[in-house]
Amino acid sequence: MAEPIRSILVVGGGTAGWMAAAALKTATGPHCQVRLVESEDIGIVGVGEATVPTIRDFNRMIGLDEVAFMRETQASLKLGIQFVGWGAESSSYFHPFGAYGAGRELGDFHQVWLSLRARGLASGLDAYSLCTRAAFAGRVGALNPDPRSPEALIPAAFHFDAGLYAQHLRRFCEARGVERVEGRIVDVAQRPDGFIDHVRLEGERTLSADLFIDCTGFRGLLIEGALKAGYEDWSHWLPMDRAVAAPCAKAGPITPYTRATADAGGWRWRIPLQHRTGNGYVYSSRFLDQEAATARLLETLDGELLAEPRHLCFVTGRRKAYWDRNVVALGLSSGFIEPLESTSIHLVHVGLNRLLQHFPDSGFSPGNIAAYNRRVGRDVEQVRDFVILHYHLTQRRDVELWRYVADMPIPDALAERVELFRERGILSPQSADDYFSPTSWLAVMIGQGVQPRTHNPLYDLNNPTTQAARLKQVETAFAEATTRLPLHEDYLRAAGMAAPA
Evaluate if residue 46 carries a pLDDT over 60.
Answer: no
pLDDT of 308 above 80: yes
Write the pLDDT tens digit of every residue in 191-215.
Answer: 999 999 999 999 989 999 999 999 9
What separation in angstroms does the CA of 312 have from each of 42, 44, 60, 242, 315? 15, 11, 32, 6, 10
Kindly indicate the confidence band of residue 108, based on its pLDDT and cuts at 50, 70 and 90.
confident
pLDDT at 361 over 70: yes
Pairing of strands 317-319, 335-336: antiparallel
b/e map of 96-109 (b: 16 or more CB within 10 Å)? bbbbbbbeebeebb
Give pLDDT, residue 494.
80
Do residues 280 and 268 make contact, with C-beta atoms less than 8 angstroms apart? yes
Beta carbons of 215 and 333 less than 8 angstroms apart: yes
Statement: residue 449 has pLDDT above 50: yes
Range name among 141-155, 229-243, 341-355, 409-423 with the lowest pLDDT average: 141-155
Output the pTM of the full model.
0.95
**In DSSP terms, which residues pair with 201 in a beta bridge?**
185
SS3 readout for 427-453 = CCCCCCCCCCCHHHHHHHHHHCCCCCC
Mean pLDDT value of segment 404-419:
96
Please say whether the beta carbons of 53 and 74 come within 8 A.
no
Q: Is 23 helix (H, G, I), strand (E, B) or coil?
A: helix
pLDDT in tens, 137-194: 999 976 444 656 666 668 899 999 999 999 999 999 999 999 999 999 999 999 999 9
Range with lowest mean pLDDT among 94-108, 242-256, 272-286, 404-418: 94-108
Q: Is 78 a catalytic residue?
A: yes
The pLDDT assigned to 500 comes to 45
Least confident of 215-229, 387-401, 419-433: 419-433
Q: Which residues pair with 89 in a beta bridge?
A: none
Give pLDDT, residue 74. Answer: 93
Q: Helix 344-357 and helix 14-28: axis angle, to 10°?
A: 30
In this structure, the dihedral spanned by the alpha carbons of residues 21, 271, 71 and 348, taken in order and rounded to 10 degrees, is -10
Mean pLDDT across the chain, nearest whole number?
A: 93
Question: Which one is catalytic: 25, 78, 250, 472?
Answer: 78
Classify 83 as helix, strand or coil. Answer: strand
Q: Give the pLDDT score at 103.
A: 75
Residue type, 393: L
Least confident of 307-316, 389-398, 459-468: 459-468
More confident residue, 60 or 43: 60
Q: What is the pLDDT of residues 65-94, one digit of tens each?
A: 999 999 999 999 999 999 999 999 999 999
Is-contact 2 361, C-beta < 8 A? yes
Q: Where in 321-435 does DSSP place strands (E)? A: 323-324, 327-329, 335-336
Confidence at residue 43, expressed as pLDDT on a 0 to 100 scale: 61
CA-based angle 142:144:146, to the nearest 5?
Answer: 175
How far is Cα of residue 392 from the mean position of the Cα atoms in its chain? 19
The full 3-state SS of 237-293, as one line of letters, equals CCCCCEEEEEEECCCCCCCCCEEEEECCCEEEEEEECCCCEEEEEEECCCCCCHHHH
Q: Does residue 47 register a pLDDT over 70?
A: no
> 281: which strand partners?
244, 268
171-185, 378-392, 422-436: least confidently modelled range: 422-436
Q: How far is CA 177 from the centre of its chain?
A: 29
pLDDT, position 41: 77
pLDDT at 113 over 70: yes
C-alpha 42/C-alpha 258 separation (Å) is 29
Distance, CA of 233 to CA of 229 (rounded, Å): 13
Question: In degrees to the nearest 10, what's the CA dihedral of 50, 53, 54, 56?
Answer: 90
